[in-house]
Structure 1
């Protein structure tokens, strides 16, 4: 067998795969369980570019082989595969960074993955992002979109492509792409009577001239007509507003503290084909203008509260959205924000496009725009 193995090595080195395969096939027919031949099979697959098959055999040998020489060769085979993958990854990243927007800021996101698939997904994620398996498993979301990494868009784009290639629902987005989404601030809607479940009707949104404007001026609104069937996704959440209060510390000294003052209801309708977000919130929405909805009230003898009016608006909106779109709610955004707010310098690069008349800017506004932009641009 030694002579035949020498011939196999000769043909494999010369990349004469047909001749090498013929020798290997003959030897395996005689000794199918021989570990040395299994190693040769792995080497053959590796040389022929069938890396997955080679890796599987190398790993099997590490578990079953007892001979130090075989173990060493299997280990070196795996190291060669990993080194080649790393080299290719670095080359792709270097090329991607040189492309337009390649050096700009970006993010890497991951869609939720079913619990029973997490173990396999963690192995793939660890390999591509160079993490240990335990850390990789903690990074995999079960219910909500997750911000995996921030950094250079070109690098994250390569990671996203590699994760997609192994079946993981990852995506890379540049902050420039989020900033290019047009955001219109809606003052109120007008609509024809809408039959339940009919997505063919049209609405008219009366929008402020610029999303940054803080004032509602009736004569300065833009009209925008759209159909329910144009809505591709929807984000409904709340954002905190803050105020400074004076308090006493443990030594009874006066200190200033920031506390949550109020919660603002906000909703984004995504019109994907128009690259447009229609954004409205209960600080600005003119409930007395446009269409008038029935408002269930707790206290019949009082005017409806803003919260009651908002609930009525959302309860009218949701049943009319296309049935095949996803609605992202406050719990989804809050899960994202709990992690993303730690990267405040990164988040501040995103234009918030939100007019809440805050006394002091809040990174929560930027975070909401980042999240809504991720939802808008995700594959």
Structure 2
């Protein structure tokens, strides 16, 4: 189990050194992530660089560590150049999807990594930028693309079949009134395209009502579902877990921070199957092997949650969960088909946009 050090001690561990300046984005469970990785030199991969919070902490915690950080957002890569300069040759920033981290590592001339950390979901920088269209707090274009490529949220809202839209909002947003939301959107777009976050939030709020005493906006779940669909977030997570499994050297560690049940369910089942705590993975092995290949040993016996003090400092931390595992010397098993199923919409919704 992870030993929790006193907050003052943990803070001091990350204040020291030239790479410990304050960040606009507050990384969640930072101290617990660093501790779970058990740093000891070598190469670490930060698959979700964002504002560089985890990368900065890794560099500060272990002066012998080299870091490759990945992000699909061009703005994050551009903003990270100052940290590259501060790190004195210890940090390489790579543009790409973290689901491709093994291929990106190969392109960087690295065969194996000793540590991998993944912070799943949208960053505060993206949420707080109205022009990115991730949030309804400020009106902006209905975009939501992390990489600024491919179909936007507006494309899905205006072009997807009503049933596909309902499935996206239900399965990825966990919105119980998804059919009513999809029907309302379908009727509204007949009068003209829905182009802004305010337009969509108003439509959703007309058929989804906030629960008594809740501070959650009625459109929250719909926006989550669309964001996940636009960026294929769950599919990326599944690919990243398997990619990390392939690149980690024996004794290397993987730490994953999630923010909602869909993400955590995938990470939990991955570690359960790969550590032998679940038989789910056995039927997906080649040749019908009965035994499970134990490619990971659990570092966290259950999810590590933020403490009350962290939640008070950063309310966005309240739903975070950390799970971590250590790579064994076993061969790399076949990918888990069950995880891909968890990340996918039902068959009827896989057609994507309306033709």
What band does the TM-score fall into relative to the shorter chain? Answer: under 0.3
Which protein is bigger by CA-based radius of gyration? 1
- TM-score calculated relative to the size of structure 1: 0.22
- TM-score calculated relative to the size of structure 2: 0.23
Q: Greater strand percent: which structure?
A: 1
